[in-house]
Structure 1
């Protein structure tokens, strides 16, 4: 997801005037009657960054959204192939977070049994 700075195409050191100018330019480029969703993103980005107090609030209290798909892909990347038997796969699907099955180390390989 893009940050308000990326949406308005300004850097984090931009002044109030530069941010307002970038906002007005984006509104001209993407008017609300033709690009409603994009305009809404632009407007929200401007409201987030419009003055020093708003930018400070954003810097202090904004938590970036996690890209869970990317995190999951990164966590599942392994240098060696992982083979699961149908029974082991079924156990993984049925396991809860508290089950000891999640205490497998990354070096442990589940083989077809």
Structure 2
């Protein structure tokens, strides 16, 4: 399962939507009552919680149905509904310390 499926959100979800889905699921599955489910939810949230993490997930996750990192960048640009891909400087910033 992808982090999006675990959190019950679409690929176009923004930071606020992802955080809200995470918080709702944590309320339903707190760590003291459902530790395994909580762990899955927390891991999914950690993978896609912000733009940098989502880009890292798109580029480096082997479970994504893409063959090359360039396809991941195009997917990311399309998912975020931007008219053009991020600039090279923005990509360097997002992928630094990866």
Does structure 1 residue 43 correspond to structure 2 residue 21?
no
User: Structure 2, unaligned stretches of length 5 or more?
Assistant: 65-98
Does structure 1 residue 62 correspond to structure 2 residue 61?
yes
Does structure 1 residue 29 correspond to structure 2 residue 28?
yes
> Which of the pair is proportionally richer in helix?
2
Q: 2:12 maps to what in 1? A: 13
The one of the two structures with greater contact order (alpha-carbon pairs below 8 A, sep at least 6) is: 2
Q: Deviations over 1:63-94 (max 9, x none)?
A: 129xxxxxxxxxxxxxxxxxxxxxxxxxxxxx
Q: How many corresponding residue pairs?
A: 64
How much does 1:62 deviate?
A: 0.3
User: Structure 1, unaligned stretches of length 5 or more?
Assistant: 66-113
Normalised to the residue count of structure 1, the TM-score between the two structures is 0.55
